């Protein structure tokens, strides 16, 4: 019996010590926890005497009438803008007060992108490159958002954000090298055209599968938060990509993990040939934000100042408060989806002409500059001539450049080439030598 009492006493001491250790460990975990928990998220103490819902999954009240929530309970989200279509500032308090040099840089980048698009689109039509996607009509979303970011912020693009990379300093020579897949291409000729990327400019290489960049961006933003780096991530996508499961997973993870992330949706009216009225039934993409616990805003994507203001404020708060933001930029895709598409099959010429002639982001900014005496017809002619010359020089240089060394087909996957890959390499060269009349190896770097 004495032995039994001794065992019980020892068990009690050990149990008490274990509970103290567990309590200390839990206390330390709480002290080191990096997640911010708002008061709204804290579960209230349970009181069975109160006739209020105690479910941990929602904050609500009981009702005694049967009523389904209408889909338009959140509808008609307003569109924030700073300039009207004639370039006039509507509310002076919203004028970002950018310098003349900054505004001119905006305009020149937007028009340079437009010029590059026209030349590369025509080069594809002539069979010089295999594929291309223009950015016509969406230049304001690129430049307005890119200019509001810190250079150290990480960018995940979809495939229509060339202006973001251009604003960050990506040279025309490298745009051309990528589209031509020549020896100067940073991607070593492995990607199809317009799939740009640049480590030095914090622009993650674009991949074709739709919406894959969204959960990847969440992971990067979560890493920045854990490392307390004061960096943000911006993730671009279209309204069509927002229908992918990756988008919903990314929205939810970013909100629950409280990541410094800006979701930037370019709602340009069409997902290839699918119009928005067939893409979703709710009020666009911004309406989805509250459902995931995200702050959201809808902006006029053809107003570069509205895009700039919204992105700048979202970036500031995302880093300061560790939370995601959703920006829906309303714009219009004036060009075809890509060189593989003929948009005349699903929309009228009059519709396209309206946006091209009446509500174009480049025209709106030019009106703003002209009214201030910052830009004239002579300036326009001179710049258009100069920018076309610059683009053509890069174009001609890229076209003459050799293709990457074929050996690069087998590198950058393994640290050391594995036996199966070595066999593939040997088989490749045997095939090329056997049928060398079909493989112009002289066009490739040795």
Helices (H), 257-303: 276-279
Residue 242: both structure tokens together? 């927002």
User: Residue 385, Cβ neighbours under 10 Å: how many?
Assistant: 10
Q: How far apart are CA 118 and CA 138, in angstroms?
A: 14
Q: How far apart are CA 329 and CA 150, in angstroms?
A: 20
User: Residue 261, Cβ neighbours under 10 Å: how many?
Assistant: 34
Cross-sheet strand order for the sheet of 233-238: 203-204, 154-156, 233-238, 261-267, 325-330, 295-300
Q: How far apart are CA 184 and CA 210, in angstroms?
A: 27
Q: What is the pLDDT of residues 278-302, one digit of tens each?
A: 999 999 999 999 999 999 999 999 9
Beta bridge pairs of residue 296: 326
Question: How do strand 154-156 and strand 203-204 relate by DSSP bridges?
Answer: parallel
**CB of 98 within 8 A of CB of 105?**
no
* Residues in the chain with pLDDT values less than 70: 1-50, 74-75
The pLDDT value recorded for residue 19 is: 45
Q: How far apart are CA 446 and CA 435, in angstroms?
A: 18
Instruction: Note the pTM of the prediction, 2 decimals.
Output: 0.87
Instruction: Please name which of 204, 258, 209 lies closest in space to residue 235, comparing C-alpha atoms.
Output: 204
From the candidates 27, 208, 340, 348, give the one annotated as an active-site residue: 208
From the candidates 75, 122, 278, 396, give the one annotated as an active-site residue: 122
The pLDDT value recorded for residue 100 is: 98
The pLDDT value recorded for residue 412 is: 94
Give, in order, the Cα–Cα distances in Å from 19 to each of 9, 25, 30. 15, 10, 16
Instruction: Please name which of 178, 168, 166 lies closest in space to residue 112, comparing C-alpha atoms.
Output: 166
The pLDDT value recorded for residue 328 is: 98
Q: How far apart are CA 159 and CA 251, in angstroms?
A: 20
Which residues, other chains included, contact 349 with Cβ-Cβ below 8 Å and sequence gap of 6+?
none
Q: How far apart are CA 107 and CA 387, in angstroms?
A: 12
From the candidates 147, 338, 343, 387, give the one annotated as an active-site residue: 338
Using the 8-state DSSP alphabet, how is residue 344 labeled?
A: G
Q: How far apart are CA 101 and CA 94, in angstroms?
A: 19
Q: Establish whether 39 is a catalytic residue.
A: no
Residue 194: both structure tokens together? 């317009």
**CB of 301 within 8 A of CB of 331?**
yes
State the residue for tokens 């500059």. 369
Q: Where in the chain is the domain with CATH 3.40.50.970?
A: 92-402
User: Residue 356, Cβ neighbours under 10 Å: how many?
Assistant: 15
Q: Establish whether 337 is a catalytic residue.
A: yes
> Which CATH number does 92-402 carry?
3.40.50.970
The pLDDT value recorded for residue 337 is: 96
The pLDDT value recorded for residue 47 is: 55
112 class by beta-carbon count within 10 Å (0-12 exposed, 13-18 middle, 19+ buried): buried
3-state helix, strand, coil in the chain (%, to 5): 50, 10, 40
From the candidates 138, 337, 343, 387, give the one annotated as an active-site residue: 337
- Kind plus residue range of the DSSP H or E element containing 274: strand 274-275
Q: What is the pLDDT of residues 350-370, one digit of tens each?
A: 999 999 999 999 999 999 999
190: helix, strand or coil: coil
Q: How far apart are CA 237 and CA 246, in angstroms?
A: 11
């Amino acid at each position: 019996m004495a032995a039994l009492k001794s065992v019980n006493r020892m068990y009690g001491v050990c149990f008490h010590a274990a509970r103290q250790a567990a309590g200390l460990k839990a206390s330390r975990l709480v002290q080191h926890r990096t997640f911010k928990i708002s008061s709204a998220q804290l579960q209230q103490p349970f009181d069975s005497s109160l006739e209020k819902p105690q479910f941990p999954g929602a904050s609500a009240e009981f009702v005694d009438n049967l009523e389904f929530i209408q889909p338009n309970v959140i509808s008609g989200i307003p569109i924030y803008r700073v300039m009207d279509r004639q370039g006039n500032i509507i509310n002076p308090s919203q004028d970002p007060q950018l310098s003349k040099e900054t505004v001119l840089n905006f305009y020149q980048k937007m028009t340079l992108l437009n010029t590059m698009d026209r030349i590369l689109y025509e080069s594809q039509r002539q069979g010089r490159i295999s594929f291309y996607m223009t950015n016509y009509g969406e230049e304001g979303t690129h430049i307005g958002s890119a200019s509001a970011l810190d250079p150290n912020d990480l960018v995940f693009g979809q495939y229509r954000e060339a202006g973001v990379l251009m604003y960050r300093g990506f040279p025309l020579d490298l745009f051309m090298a990528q589209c031509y897949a020549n020896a100067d291409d940073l991607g070593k000729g492995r990607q199809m055209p317009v799939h740009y990327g640049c480590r030095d400019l914090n622009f993650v290489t674009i991949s074709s599968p739709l919406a894959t960049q969204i959960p990847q961006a969440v992971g990067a933003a979560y890493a920045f938060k854990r490392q307390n780096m004061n960096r943000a991530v911006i993730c671009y996508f279209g309204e069509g990509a927002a229908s992918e499961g990756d988008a919903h997973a990314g929205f939810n993870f970013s909100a629950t993990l409280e990541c410094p992330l800006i979701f930037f949706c370019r709602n340009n009216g069409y997902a290839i040939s699918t119009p928005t009225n067939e893409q979703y039934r709710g009020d666009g993409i911004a309406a989805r934000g509250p459902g995931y616990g995200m702050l959201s805003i809808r902006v006029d994507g053809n107003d570069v100042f509205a895009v700039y203001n919204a992105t700048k404020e979202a970036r500031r708060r995302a880093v300061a408060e560790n939370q995601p933001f959703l920006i829906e930029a309303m714009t219009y895709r004036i060009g075809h989806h890509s060189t593989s598409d003929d948009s005349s099959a699903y929309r009228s010429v009059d519709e396209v002409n309206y946006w091209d002639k009446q509500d174009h982001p480049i025209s709106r900014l030019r009106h703003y500059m002209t009214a201030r005496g910052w830009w004239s017809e002579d300036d326009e002619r001179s710049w258009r001539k100069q920018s076309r010359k610059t683009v053509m020089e890069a174009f001609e240089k890229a076209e003459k450049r050799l293709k990457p060394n074929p050996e690069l087909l087998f590198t950058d996957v393994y640290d050391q080439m594995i036996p199966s890959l070595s066999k593939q390499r040997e088989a490749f060269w045997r095939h090329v030598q056997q049928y060398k009349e079909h493989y112009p190896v002289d066009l490739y770097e040795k």
